[in-house]
Amino acid sequence: MENEAISRNFIENMIDKDLAEGVYTTVHTRFPPEPNGYLHIGHAKSILLNYGLAKEYKGKFNMRFDDTNPTKEKTEFVESIMEDIRWLGADWEDRLFYASDYFPQMYEAAVALIKKGKAYVCDLTAEQIREFRGTLTEPGKESPYRNRSIEENLTLFEEMKAGKYADGTKVLRAKIDMASPNMNMRDPVIYRVAHVPHHRTGDSWCIYPMYDFAHPLEDAIEGITHSICTLEFEDHRPLYDWVVHEVGMFENPPRQIEFAKLYLTNVVTGKRYIKKLVEDKIVDGWDDPRLVSIAALRRRGFTPESIRMFVDLVGVSKGNSSVDYAMLEYCIREDLKTKAPRYMAVLDPLKVVIDNYPEGQTEYLDAPNNMENEELGVRQIPFGRELYIEREDFMVEPPKKYKRLYPGAEVRLMNAYYVTCTSWDTDADGTITAVHVTYDPQTRGGSAPDGRKVKGTIHWVEVSQAKAVKVRLYENIIDESKGVYNEDGSLNLNPNSLTECLAYVEPALAAAHAYDRFQFVRNGFFCADFRDSQEGEPVFNRIVSLKSSFKL
Ligand code: ATP
Ligand code: MG
């Protein structure tokens, strides 16, 4: 029990206190994305945090589209966001909301503020408003329109709504304090004119609420108790509180709590950078497996479990920091280690001929599907006179400690026999074209009756039944830690971010379907691509290699 109490994060501690003091009697959270792009790994943290808290406290979790800015929002994004959240396992049940449904209530809230003398219509241009705002060291200047009468403000605001004014000519501002040390409190704009159709409300509105006004109202209307957002909104909290209290329509207004954003090093996390890569067609859409959008991670082969494990490991804090991408890789390896069947695949083939194996003979050998998980059973793999092995598994003049095949060396072919290298063939350029070996028929299954040991075990695929498939290997598209841009302003792209090759795999892998995941022995974890795989012709994306630089 004590340990449990210690490991609680600061948000849980705040909620515990609220519940103990009776500030709230229940916990009600939400995830409020703006449908202006695809969700990324950072959003996953926010989703799982909010959903997890609602579950933990047996409260409610709302899915809400924060669609109050029609210029950047699209239905395409609404759909992808829902798909991603469902996939992550956060279930909003029937609690799906759209902030645009509250436009009438938001309008009423603005009118209520005007009636209280707490909001006014201002004719200053955006640039003038900026100039009048002052700086961190100097107070702002009051707008000449600040003292309009309530009646005049009501009329003007209604006319704004009726479409009488052009974009940018009039705004509604909260009347707070032009000398506040918090710039957000210097009469912020709360409504603007924008003659832009909205993806849900069409042409019904030509005025739209600003984020800092809309967001607290959305939370309050839905009865949210704890409105969890990222650290950059900390300075906006006084305004959040001002709105829910001054509007005065809510009995028990929500509380805003901020936590640090999740940043990943060594990959591109910013929505704006991802967008640029997509628009410049440097990547194959928002779900290109080199990206860290949720859609891309899913396509690459990450599991929801691995992302949940990652978010749990990262934890929740108040301090900004970044987490290495290697930690995410660690999580998917952990998740797939015992779940994924292990098959043999050769990415860079070199032919091996077993000179003393009967020509034209094929036999079938037992191979466990996962040495660490017997439940996955055993399969049969074809074996014959000609095999492929990895080119790097043979060397004519090996360095010390080389444990694979070289002239005179005996090694184990995984799940098969011991073989000894006798000679090799080269072409006119000296490139090795084949390796000759002899096998010991007594060693079927991979051990010798006389107890003699071999130092190395190598994987292989039988030539006549091998299936050639397309395989994609990835590196980071841009190393953000080395700078996203070059000096000339171009993107600092890694030319090796995508390598496509043909690999020879066990025949059974021809039947792989989209999202089937495997370990290819020694080569890493792979997932059949859902876009490019055809029936009988899978294309495999490497999720992650087996080697890890990350230690927990
Ligand atoms: P971006 O800055 O990438 O465009 P955003 O904050 O504009 O993201 P929204 O759709 O407004 O995207 O965000 C929805 C929710 O996700 C917000 O509550 C936001 O605080 C949270 N969120 C966004 N990015 C991160 C992140 N990197 N880590 C944790 N939470 C995040
Ligand atoms: Mg945003």
pLDDT digits (tens, 9 = 90+) for 162-196: 999 999 999 999 999 999 999 999 999 999 999 99
The whole-model pTM stands at 0.92
pLDDT score of 490 more than 80: no
CB 1 within 8 A of CB 28: no
CATH 2.40.240.10 residue ranges for the chain: 347-459, 467-544
479 by Cβ neighbours in 10 Å (0-12 / 13-18 / 19+) ranks as middle
Q: How far apart are CA 384 and CA 126, in angstroms?
A: 77
Question: From the CA of 358, how far away is ligand 1's center (Å)?
Answer: 64
Question: From the CA of 102, how far away is ligand 1's center (Å)?
Answer: 22
Give residue 29's identity as a one-letter amino acid code. T
Classify 430 in phi/psi space as left (phi over 0), alpha (psi -120 to 50) or beta: left
pLDDT in tens, 122-159: 999 999 999 999 999 999 999 999 999 999 999 999 99
pLDDT score for 6: 53
Q: How far apart are CA 199 and CA 271, in angstroms?
A: 21
CATH 3.90.800.10 residue ranges for the chain: 103-208
E strand or H helix at 21, and its extent?
A: helix 10-21
Structure-token pair, residue 459? 């994987």
**CATH number of this structure's domain 103-208, picked from the four choices 3.40.50.300, 3.90.800.10, 2.60.120.40, 3.30.300.30:** 3.90.800.10
Q: How far apart are CA 344 and CA 459, in angstroms?
A: 6
pLDDT score of 217 more than 50: yes
pLDDT in tens, 308-353: 999 999 999 898 878 989 999 999 999 999 999 999 999 999 999 9
Q: Are strands 386-390 and 461-462 parallel, antiparallel or unpaired?
A: antiparallel
The H helix count followed by the E strand count for the chain is: 13, 27
Q: How far apart are CA 52 and CA 49, in angstroms?
A: 5
Protein residue with least CA distance to atom 15, ligand 1: 33
Q: How far apart are CA 351 and CA 374, in angstroms?
A: 31
Question: From the CA of 76, how far away is ligand 2's center (Å)?
Answer: 17
Ligand nearest to the CA of 32: 1
pLDDT score for 356: 98
3-state secondary structure 357-387: CCCCCEEEEEEECCCCCHHHCEEEEEEECEE
Question: From the CA of 46, how far away is ligand 1's center (Å)?
Answer: 8
Q: What share of the chain is helix, strand, coil (3-state, %, to 5)?
A: 30, 25, 45
Closest ligand 1 atom to residue 261 Cα is 28
Question: From the CA of 270, how far away is ligand 1's center (Å)?
Answer: 10
Within 10 angstroms of residue 425's Cβ, the number of other Cβ atoms is 12
Ligand 1 proximal residues by C-beta, below 6 Å: 32-34, 42-43, 45-46, 229-230, 261-262, 271
Protein residue with least CA distance to atom 3, ligand 1: 271
Average pLDDT over residues 220-229: 98
Arithmetic mean of pLDDT over the chain: 95
Closest ligand 1 atom to residue 40 Cα is 3
Ligand nearest to the CA of 233: 1
E strand or H helix at 466, and its extent?
A: none
Q: How far apart are CA 488 and CA 389, in angstroms?
A: 45
467-544 classified as CATH 2.40.240.10: yes
E strand or H helix at 6, and its extent?
A: helix 2-6
CB 234 within 8 A of CB 106: no
Ligand nearest to the CA of 320: 1
Question: From the CA of 427, how far away is ligand 1's center (Å)?
Answer: 57
pLDDT score for 449: 96
CA dihedral 499, 500, 505, 510 (to 10 degrees): 140
Within 10 angstroms of residue 20's Cβ, the number of other Cβ atoms is 8
Q: How confident is the model at residue 1 (pLDDT cuts 50, 70, 90)?
A: very low
pLDDT score of 5 more than 50: no
Ligand nearest to the CA of 232: 1
Q: Name the fold adopted by 347-459.
A: Ribosomal Protein L25; Chain P (2.40.240)
Pick the closest to residue 434 from 387, 384, 398, 466 (CA basis): 387
Within 10 angstroms of residue 444's Cβ, the number of other Cβ atoms is 17
Ligand 1 probe mutation, 11, 31, 40, 43, most atoms within 8 A of CB:
43
The residues with which 342 forms a beta bridge, in sequence order, are: 519
Angle at 373 between CA 368 and CA 375, to 5 degrees: 80
3-state secondary structure 161-223: HHCCCCCCCCEEEECCCCCCCCHHHCCCEEEEECCCCECCCECCCCEEECHHHHHHHHHHHCC
pLDDT score of 547 more than 90: no
Average pLDDT over residues 116-127: 98
Residue whose structure tokens are 């996955």: 376
CB 259 within 8 A of CB 49: yes
pLDDT in tens, 23-77: 999 999 999 999 988 999 999 999 999 999 999 999 999 999 999 999 888 888 9
Burial 23-41 (b: 16+ CB within 10 A, else e): ebeebbbbbbbbbbbbbbb
426 by Cβ neighbours in 10 Å (0-12 / 13-18 / 19+) ranks as exposed
Average pLDDT over residues 491-507: 93
